[in-house]
Chains A and B, each alone.
Chain A
Amino acid sequence: MPPRQLPQLDLTGGLLAFLLPGLGHVYQGRVRRGLLAGSGVLALYTIGLLIGGLSIVDSRGEGRDVLDRIWFFGQILVGPLTLVVDQLHHRFDAPGSTVALKPALGKVYDMGVLFTAIAGLMNLVVLFDALMPREHPIDAEQRQPRTPPGPVTATVTPAAAMPATAMPATAMPGPVSDATNAAPSHKDPA
């Protein structure tokens, strides 16, 4: 599907890009970019969750340093998916839950948080590209019809196409004739 004419500011595309990574580009007709960027963001996020488990997405930051909650602001940039993961985390962590959620510690926690937060930050880049789409200069150049290289030829102007009788003397092509096109002289002939 060819990309449709891209507006200067596409709020719908930006909103869709926030709802699901890559969806804004797909909406704009840039399907290949959307699929690649979206699957990349989701892959980074999934790898992060696989490394650290659901416990690394924590909006409340209970039992952790306050600074650890800063990472949640990076993770939330992936979209509503982070809210779902956060809800699952707190549901599984609640007393009486039948699911045993083990917290990540040390380097494993760091790597999981790093992957998910970078996925969010990269989705911010993708979101801005969907919000303010720009055509690549190479694509713009390719769309322009190319002129064949060669010597510059004179173009026929409307004035040259006019009959000589209807042409004003100042627009006459060819060598300037003194008799017809002489510039007005300010000299006194006497």
Chain B
Amino acid sequence: MSTLAFAPFLEPLNALHGPWAWMLLPLALGIAVIFRAIREPEHRFWPRYIRGVAMLTLKITLGVLLLGVAFHLFARVWLPLVTPMPAGN
């Protein structure tokens, strides 16, 4: 058996070590598919549902991206300003 073969469910998908952040998109889509399925009215369901899923996916993705930017600024910009590192470090 080739060592490169991937056995689903028995071993992890190690190819995602690098591009793990892209998994945010299917995660956001999955949450939106579930949430909008129970929130949309029966009247004109499909147009509302598809639009709702697209909008919620976009909102979750942008929200997480904004949180990431905010945490980055907090950790890499604001914290070094308020707690300057000693010289030589």
A48 → chain B closest CB, angstroms: 9
Q: Which residues of A contact B41 (CB under 8 A)?
A: 136-139, 142
Interface residues on B, range: 20 to 34
A53 to B11, CA, bound (A): 5
B12:A37 contact, CB within 8 angstroms: no
A50:B23 contact, CB within 8 angstroms: no
A122 to B38, CA, bound (A): 11
B27:A37 contact, CB within 8 angstroms: no
Kindly state whether residue B63 has any CB partner on chain A within 8 Å: no
Q: What does DSSP make chain A's interface, helix, strand, loop or mixed? A: helix
Q: Mark B27-41, 1 if CB is under 8 A from A, else 0.
A: 100110111011111
Within 8 A of B (CB), among A45-100: 47, 49-55, 92, 99-100
A51:B12 contact, CB within 8 angstroms: yes
- Given A51-B13, A139-B43, also A36-B23 (CB < 8 A): no
Partner of B42, one of A49, A100, A136: A136
Q: Which residues of B contact A49 (CB under 8 A)?
A: 9
Q: Report, nearest first, the 9 A-B pairs whose CB atoms are least far apart.
A: A104-B12, A36-B37, A136-B41, A40-B34, A102-B11, A138-B41, A40-B33, A44-B30, A37-B37
